[in-house]
Amino acid sequence: MIRCLWSTKNAQLMQYHDLEWGIPVLESKKLFECFALEIFQAGLNWSTVLKRREGLRNTLSSFDPFCLCEYSDTEIQQVIADPAVIRNPRKIHAVFHNANVVAQLPTTFSDYMWHFVDFEPIRCPSTFMNSEEAQMLLAKRVVRQMKQDGFVFVGPKNIYAFFASSGVDK
């Protein structure tokens, strides 16, 4: 198996790469988890996120956006204080905010995200520019729309990474 260089640093990264990364995620709750994990990853290495993933799942209702909408301010503060999670208040608030945006979408989160690529994983590089340029153009377009729709803590780099990890773009 050919692995991305980033995945060869430890066994946990290799397992994530081999069994999860780049496999299309169509189920909305799992896709929201991928999205939230990219928010938590900003400025950190992926190993840190993977080490905290179970704690995040347990504390954040398995990343169910509809459950996250029900959290009170007191419960959100308890999440911020929980040593099992990545305790960055800005990232945690962003995940809760984005869960509320997802709950207000007229469609599922999966349909919302996959519509940007016409519901098909991107597998062919662009013929008129290199693949990375094409991916960043797509990410910028997606970010513009997501911000218009109310999402926060979204930028081209984390959306590019989110699309790669969730199999939208490989």
Question: Which among 51, 5, 24 has a CA at the least distance from the CA of 162?
Answer: 24
Alpha-carbon distance values, 32 to 2, 5, 65, 129 (Å): 27, 26, 7, 30
**pLDDT by residue for the chain (170 residues), tens digit each?**
789 899 999 999 999 999 999 999 999 999 999 999 999 999 999 999 999 999 999 999 999 999 999 999 999 999 999 999 999 999 999 999 999 999 999 999 999 999 999 999 886 544 444 577 778 899 999 999 999 999 999 999 999 999 999 998 76
CATH architecture of 26-165: Orthogonal Bundle (1.10)
8 A C-beta contact, residue 121 and residue 24: yes
Q: According to the model, what pLDDT value does residue 170 have?
A: 64
Domains of the chain by residue range: 26-165
In a 13 Å sphere around the CA of 82, the CA atoms on its Cβ side amount to 20
